[in-house]
Amino acid sequence: MKPSLLSLAFASLLSAATVSQAQNAPATDGVKVGSMSIFRKLAPTGALEGQAAAQYAQTMRQAQQQRALGPDDNAQVLRLRAIAHKLIPFALRWNARAPQWKWEVNLIASRQINAYCMPGGKIAFYTGILDTLKLTDDEVAIVMGHEIAHALREHGAERAGKANVANFGIKLAEVIAGAKGYDPNLVGAVGGGVAKMGMLAFSRGDETEADIVGLDIAARAGYDPRAGVALWQKMGMVSKNAPPQWLSTHPSGSSRIAEIQRHFPEVMPLYAHARGISLNALAPYQSNVKGIAALAYPAR
């Protein structure tokens, strides 16, 4: 699939903006999440980015063949790319490789309530998440910032590295069990169950980290972090049958809302600065769905 002239122009403008913003991005304010996981070094990041690019291209080709790929002049595609154009410059300080990524943003017609950003900056939204949740621009920015954060923090490489360690540990346990006369298959099954539960916890940690980093990116770009609360309230309205938090790779909606609110003191000043007004002058955030109350900060 050949990139269109509009896609190339988008990439060119974005590249120029990212270099400029990266040079001026402050490193002392905003959220603090610590260093990236050492486990990501156990998986080849460059190779993962190459694999992701190939998989993304294949997905876009299939969507195009099925007439499900949003054209460059589609209003929602233009909207998503405009939001990405504002977000990505403030993402660069989170990963030294990010300025060299060939960022892409596309829209696929599907009822799936989903969006993602693959390693290397390959972003995709599904119409289902835009339409079902009736996302405002601020809420789109929260979703997109979250997905970008997964790529920036190399969570894919981290999970691959953890899986490699877990598999090695299970094989080692089976060998030791066999040498001592125990059933290695039973030991392997138990070890696999323990490892699976551990990986779920790791994944929830990645989701929380992506929420926090995404808030920082969105706020610096001038998008309201309070939209994250409305987003998860909306998500709760359409996912009432979700599994309990301890059996899910995602934290519960209430946990995410609490974590987002906990970081308001770090990100709301960034948002106010981006808007060029004081914190006290910020109007309450009002979503576009009945039943979601306006959210003021500071509380009034």
For 35, what's the count of Cα atoms within 13 Å in the CB-facing half-sphere?
A: 5
Contacts of 54 (CB under 8 A, 6+ apart): none
Our measurement of the distance from residue 278's CA atom to the centroid of its chain's CA atoms, rounded to an integer in Å, reads 28
Task: For residue 146, count other CB atoms closer than 10 A to its CB.
Answer: 25
Q: Which of 49, 147, 174, 259 is catalytic?
A: 147
- Residue 202 CA to residue 141 CA, distance in Å, equals 25
- Residue 247 CA to residue 244 CA, distance in Å, equals 6
CA distances from 111 to 86, 122, 133, 181 (A): 26, 20, 11, 53
Q: Is 147 a catalytic residue?
A: yes
For 23, what's the count of Cα atoms within 13 Å in the CB-facing half-sphere?
A: 5
Q: Give the catalytic positions in this structure.
A: 147
